[in-house]
Amino acid sequence: MIPRTASVVIALITPITLVTLGVLLLGGSTATIFGIPLILLFMFIMFPVTSLLMWISWRLFDKHADYQLDEFEDAAAEVAP
């Protein structure tokens, strides 16, 4: 169940980065589109975009991932502290 790096970048890192940057950049803006503040419009767009990103990762990488319930034979090395 170790995910591919590309899958993590697409489905996890991309939406988190987009939302964080979007809030920081658009939060103070008084601009509106059809009367709706830009920051809210951005958040609404991110709903389907986040779904889409996860779906892309699913189709490309995770659909055929190994979901085995498994026993481990080797002790893993510690991650770098």
Partner 1 sequence: MTIVMFVIVLLLAVGIGLYSRVGAGKSTADFLVGGRSFGSVVVFIMVVGEVYSIGTIIGFPGGVYAHGVGFAVWFMGYILLGYPIGYFLLPLLWKAGRQYNAMTLPDIFRGHFKSRPLELTAALIGVVFLIPWAQLQLTGLEVALNGLGLGLTPLVTVLIGVGISLVFVLLSGIRAPAFVSFLKDFALIAVILVVAGFVLNKVPNVATIITHANVGSEHTTIPGGAPMLNTISTLLFQTIGFYMFPFVIQAVLSGKSPVSIRYTQIVMPLYMLMYPFILLTSFFAISAAPGLTGADTNLAFIEVARQLLPDWLVGLVAGGAALCAIVVLAASALVIGTLFSRNVLTNISEARQKPMTQVVIFVYLAISIVLTLVVPTIMGTLINTAYYGLTQLIVPVLLMIFPTRVRPGAMAAGLAVGALTSIGIYLSGATLGGLNIGVPALAANLLVVGIGRLVSPAAEPTQSLAARRRRIPADSGAPAGWTHHTARKESAS
* Interacting residue ranges for partner 1, rule: CB under 8 A: 1-3, 8, 11-12, 15-16, 19-20, 23-24, 27-30, 32, 34-37, 39-40, 43-44, 46-48, 50-51, 53-55, 57-58, 62-64, 66-79, 81
How do beta strands 36-37 and 32-33 pair?
antiparallel
Residue (of 22, 62, 14) closest to 38 by Cα position:
22
CB of 2 to partner 1, least distance (A): 5
CA distances from 19 to 8, 12, 41 (A): 16, 11, 12
